[in-house]
Chain A
Amino acid sequence: METPALRAPEADSVLPPWLRGIFPVLVALPVLAAFHWLLNESPFAVYLLSVMGVNIILAVSLNIVNGMTGQFSIGHAGFMAVGAYISGVLSLSLKEVALSFLPVAVSDQVFFTVALLAGGLAAAACGFLVGLPSLRLRGDYLAIVTLGFGEIIRVVVQNTDAFGRALGLSGIPQVSTPYMVYFWVFLVVLVARRIAGSSHGRSLWAIREDEVAAEAMGVDTTGYKVRSFVISSFFAGIAGGLFAHFVPIINPGSFTFVKSMEIVVMVVLGGLGSTTGAIVAAIFLTLLPEGLRSAFNLLGTESTLAQKVDQIRMPIYGLLLVVLMLSRPQGLFGTRELWDVLPRWIPRRRRGLS
């Protein structure tokens, strides 16, 4: 594995110190507002952007475990399912309740936030449970346990009456907005970047590069591993909650091993350890099937061919993984971030150590 570029993120920033803390917010707010303004008219664009946002949250959060900590987890869809179902059930039971002193839309968003947080916390609790075996298991074995855990969650959901068994939940209020989705995207990216630059992040990189050496240097490996699992699954739960509030129906079929692998493909394609890489890959892999489908539709071919795109997607993902591992095992960006690979004439942050 290539070593992560060591850099002191704050040391040589061009921004004055008082601006550094709030700068991301200042950038994010207008972007979100622009989204909101652009999307008011087109429900399909709203849907597509919401899916994209959910995928970005999933990929960035999985990257914290798979990329930064080096613990290969392949059960991320399980945490997403926990978040989706817990927040969905909560929203369903709170459907009739409203805060009468607030406008309806605002009151809906308040309850939505509460439901999301509940889903996220439930997923985080599950992440804690999965993180614990990492006390004793490493590498391949841990990967299998995460896979097994994801499948167990799916089967439990499938057999619980409160979760609608195999039919799933329907009638969850559709209160999710792109605004909300991108607020959480912003938050997860912020958290991931802050972790990467902090001493916590240094410990995670150390565990990823050589667990034994990290332990010998006094890094509390299990503590950090469990914590990265908890943070990662919290955001996966949030992503699930957001997903549940803009699709009409959630069922156990949405959270299988296949969904987990989709997220893994995004992280691996972007580069294990690169947050911006995960974002770019998530956007690309969300748009690719849609783009192909509309391309086929534009060409005027019969609709069966457009339907085939959905079938071709999975084999292409598989081949993509193989070709990527053979030709560029570190992914598109490796552990670097987008601004590290931009052309030279674009001004960039200077590297501290490298």
Chain B
Amino acid sequence: MAQLLQHLINGLAAGTIYALVALGYTMVYGVLKLINFAHGDVMMVGVYMGYATAFALGREVRGSLLGVAIIFAVAMLGCGLLGFLIERFAYRPLREKPRLTALITAIGISFALSYGFQLDIGFLPGASPRAFPEVIEPKEWIVIGDRDVVVWNWQVISLAIAVALMVGLQYLVFRTRFGRAMRAVSWDHRVAALMGIPTDRVIALTFMLSSALAAGAGLLYAIKDTSVSPLMGLYVGLKAFVAAVIGGIGHVPGAVVGALVLGLVEEFVVGYAASTWRDAVAFGFLILVLLVKPGGLFGRVAAEKV
């Protein structure tokens, strides 16, 4: 029983981090109908930015609240800028082209980033994983019984941040002028432009927002996993993407539910079966969901326009 509870908690904690990355996929897909394959790699770049900042700050500042805030701010701002550049130079010229071209471009950027970061030329970090510094000192916050069930502080913190960001995003999309513009662009960006909505700006801002979110999520992931490597984006990104598709891509609460479900499924596979099967189960689950509901759990299958 206690073991089950512990797995439940770990699964939810993993799920919230997936959820934050998945939200980025969902936002971009919602506005642009583009699977931004490079999203996970933008996250990875953000983690390295945070890593560099943490070392620049030095040991004393690093653990403090101010230090954590600076690290998150630098990584999120830097990633927002990176997202803007990618959108401006790689995706915007392809907006009127078939969707496949943009998908291939996204895969290209993903490869350029993840393998580019493996080179050890100049300031690039090289292929070997690095230990992420202890930005938040791990503490056991809730202990039940004789350490039967342990809840760590980073689990609670990441859950809180994730929930706050989700609520904020839901507010942004459904209660603000910018959110209304986003939804209009998502519906039909040409008509939206005719109605006086600056579509380019809305899309660019959405990209920056999703990239910044990715950086934040990546830092939470790095704090939990304590190791960073150039390929982390490829795999975390893939999982988060799976989560977004399970929930129905383009659907904000769907992404969160999908991510939580995925986190739980993975945790139970690792806990009760074998850890080596984790990836296969994630993808198997995805295929199963898509076969039963081709649009994901919450998505609707749009009628084909003829």
Contacts and interface: CB of A to CB of B under 8 A. Distances in A.
Contacts of B195: none
A340 to B, nearest CB: 22
A315 B98 contact: no
A165 to B, nearest CB: 9
Contacts of A144: 35, 241-242, 245, 286, 290
A80 B110 CA distance: 23
A344 interface: no
A151 B116 contact: no
A136 B101 contact: no
A133 B97 contact: no
Contacts of B99: 139-140
Contact of A261 (B103, B111, B241, B274): B111
Interface string A156-179: 101100000000000000000000
**Interface centre among A139, A148, A319, A320, by most B CB within 10 Å?**
A148
Contacts, number: 122
B280 A315 contact: no
Interface in B187-232: none
B172 interface: no
B160 interface: no
B118 interface: yes
Interface in B282-306: 283-284, 286-287, 290-291, 294, 304, 306
A72 interface: yes
B283 A140 contact: no
A326 interface: yes
Contact of A317 (B111, B234, B274): B111
Contact of A137 (B105, B283, B294): B294
A145 interface: yes
B26 to A, nearest CB: 13
Contacts of A325: 94, 101-102, 104-105, 108
Contacts of A143: 103
A212 B304 contact: yes
Nearest to A70: B100
Contacts of A320: 108
Q: Mostly helix, strand, loop or mixed at chain A's interface?
A: helix
Contacts of A314: 111, 115, 118
A152 B283 contact: yes
A326 B102 CA distance: 9
A152 B280 CA distance: 5
A141 interface: yes
A326 B290 contact: no
B276 interface: yes
A312 B238 CA distance: 23
B277 interface: yes
B112 A141 contact: no
Interface in A278-334: 308, 311-312, 314-315, 317-322, 324-326, 329
B122 interface: no
A155 B304 contact: no
Nearest to A256: B234
A152 B247 CA distance: 20
B276 A158 contact: yes
The 5 closest A-B pairs by CB, nearest first: A321-B108, A318-B111, A318-B112, A148-B283, A314-B115
9 contacts: A139-B99, A144-B241, A145-B290, A159-B277, A311-B119, A317-B111, A317-B115, A318-B113, A326-B105
Interface of B: 35, 90, 93-94, 97-105, 107-113, 115-116, 118-119, 121, 127, 234, 238, 241-242, 245, 274, 276-277, 279-280, 283-284, 286-287, 290-291, 294, 304, 306
